[in-house]
Amino acid sequence: MQTSRAPVAIDALLAILRARPALEDVAIVDGPSAVNLTQRRRIHIGWSPGAEQAVEIQQEFNGAGARTRDETFSITCYAESRGGDKDMSFRRTDAFELIGEVEQAIRASDQNPVAPTLNGSVLWAELTSGNVLQGTAEGATVGVIFDVSCRARI
C-alpha cells in the first residue's frame, strides 16, 4: 500500500534536474553528500546544511468515506555556488541562477505543460520558499536553502 508520494516525487525531481541540459555541469545530489564534492556548483535534493529534516509531510482524508487522502509535502533542497575567489556578488548571482533552473524545470510551459506534476508523481509542485547563506571559509560561497512544495492524492 502506498503511504506517501514523497519518495516518488523526490526521485522524479532528481531525474528531471539531471536531464536538464543547463545543469549538466552541476552536481545533482540525492540527500547529503556521501563524499567530499569538488564541484563548485551543486544542488542537493532532500537536504540542507545543519538540518535533519529532508521532507515535511501532512496528510488528511479528502472526503467522507476515507477512501483516499490528500497529501502536502515540502522537499528541502539546497543550491550552492562556491569558489576560491572573494566575489560574493558573482556567487550569489550564480546560486540564484541554479534556483531559476529548478523553477523553470518544474514550471508549466508550452513545451512541457505537465512539468508541475513531476512526471506524474504529484498533482502539482512549485518552488515556495528560500533562505540565503553566505560564507568565506574557502573563498566566496553562497547557498540557498529552498523548498519544493507538492500536493498529491494517495
pLDDT digits (tens, 9 = 90+) for 66-109: 677 899 999 999 999 998 889 999 999 999 999 999 999 999 87
- Positive/negative CA dihedral, 9, 14, 18, 22: positive
Phi then psi for residue 83, to 5 deg, are -160, 170
DSSP-based three-state secondary structure for 78: strand
Beta-strand pair 124-135/27-30 = unpaired
Give the helix/strand (H/E) hosting 43: strand 41-45
Full set of structural domains in the chain with CATH: 6-153 (3.30.2000.10)
SS3 28: strand
**Is 78:147 a contact under the CB 8 Å cutoff?**
no
pLDDT for 64: 62
Rounded CA-CA distance 113/142 in Å is 32
Q: What is the pLDDT of residue 115?
A: 82
Strand, helix or coil for residue 21: helix
pLDDT tens, residue order, the chain (154 aa): 578 999 999 999 999 999 999 999 999 999 998 777 788 999 999 999 988 889 998 988 776 666 778 999 999 999 999 988 899 999 999 999 999 999 999 998 777 888 899 999 999 999 998 899 999 877 899 999 999 999 998 8
Question: What's the confidence (pLDDT) of residue 65?
Answer: 66
Alpha-helix residue ranges (DSSP H) falling in the chain? 6-18, 88-105
- Rounded to two decimals, the pTM is 0.90
Which pLDDT does position 138 carry in this prediction?
Answer: 79
Length of the chain: 154
